[in-house]
Amino acid sequence: MAAANSSTSESIPVTPAAPGGRRAFSGDRVYAGALAAAGIAILLVALLIAATTANTARPALARAGLWGFITGRDWNPVEDIYGALPFIWGTLVTSVVAIVLAVPVAVAFAIFLVEFAPSRSRSLLRFVMELLASIPSVVYGLWGLFVLVPLLREHVEPALGRFSFLPLFRGAPLGVGTLAAGVLLAIMILPTIASVSVEVLRTVPSTLREGALALGATRWEAVRIAALPYGRAGIFGAALLGLGRALGETMAATMVIGNSPEISASLFAPGYSLPSIIANEFSEATSALHIGALAALGLILFVVALILNIAARLLVRAVVGKFERSSS
């Protein structure tokens, strides 16, 4: 793929046409203008998202101040009191649970696909990954609500309850709660992390692997010594991309998290996440302050997702770019 790229990637100098060919010249200019406009549109979309969200959020931020808003623990639309902390907490807890569960499985999946799987089953595994990614989140939410939640309530949470010396596993097994949301998010971000990890592992030069094998390493040792260290930054980037998706995932979390703005150390307790409260209250919010507070939550989400994605892309590029430079 990279080889094909390198042969076509230098752009062809677009001849600004000889002074005589006026017709061709104007057609080229219109076309170039249209293309550039589409390119500018992308930058514009970014600005638009930032500006519109910030502008809608202004009334709420002006009232409480950014810091006051972030650290506020109460959310009471009736009395116009808005604090973001319970939602930030819920988002953090569910995302951490999701990452802890999803990263090992996703990376192992990617290693299996790239390093161990017989070449015929590779396309099947890819298909599984694509299928997992293509199921809409509301369908995952539906499944979570009627399959995962009862499963957690009846089997998993009572079993984990034995470890109740840890504050994580205290309280009644309700099923709905931060644990359910975390598990569901883990399933949903799995294909993201796995597919980026596959992309990263595939760029590991086969000479590295062969060198390790030639020195007598087992297949696993070749992965551990050669492939994983080479791709480490990229796999970390993949995990960050997954984290970014988990933070912003709305429907699935909304349907199983319990929707109650509490801050609890227990994973069994219901919680509330940033996207869920926006999804639940936005269409019914009428006062500018309420809408502003919800938009401010969205702004927090946007900024965090932006930072995570920028970091992740830079990390993945560091690995994949290294490959493309060395192969061209």
Interaction with another protein in 245-304: which residues (CB under 8 A)?
A: 245, 247-251, 255, 275, 278-279, 282-283, 294-295, 298, 301-302
d(CA 284, CA 79): 15
- DSSP line for 111-135: HIIIIIS-HHHHHHHHHHHHHHHHS
62 binds another protein (CB under 8 A): no
Stretch that binds another protein, among 74-82, 168-176, 200-208, 310-318 (CB under 8 A): 310-318
Stretch that binds another protein, among 10-18, 60-68, 69-77, 162-170 (CB under 8 A): 10-18
Contact partners, residue 292, CB within 8 Å, separation at least 6: 56, 57, 58, 59, 60, 61, 63
What residues does 76 pair with on adjacent strands? 81
C-beta atoms surrounding 75 within 10 Å: 18
Q: Which of residues 68-107 bind another protein (CB under 8 A)?
A: 104-106
32 binds another protein (CB under 8 A): yes
Q: Which of residues 135-194 bind another protein (CB under 8 A)?
A: 135-143, 145-147, 187, 190, 194
Compare residues 104 and 158 and give the one whose CB is closer to another protein.
Answer: 104
Contact partners, residue 2, CB within 8 Å, separation at least 6: 323, 324, 327, 328
Stretch that binds another protein, among 40-48, 61-69, 160-168, 205-213 (CB under 8 A): 40-48
What residues does 75 pair with on adjacent strands? 82
Residue 142, token pair as written in the block = 């539906």
Among 22, 73, 155, 219, binds another protein (CB under 8 A): 219
- CB 51 to another protein: min, Å: 9
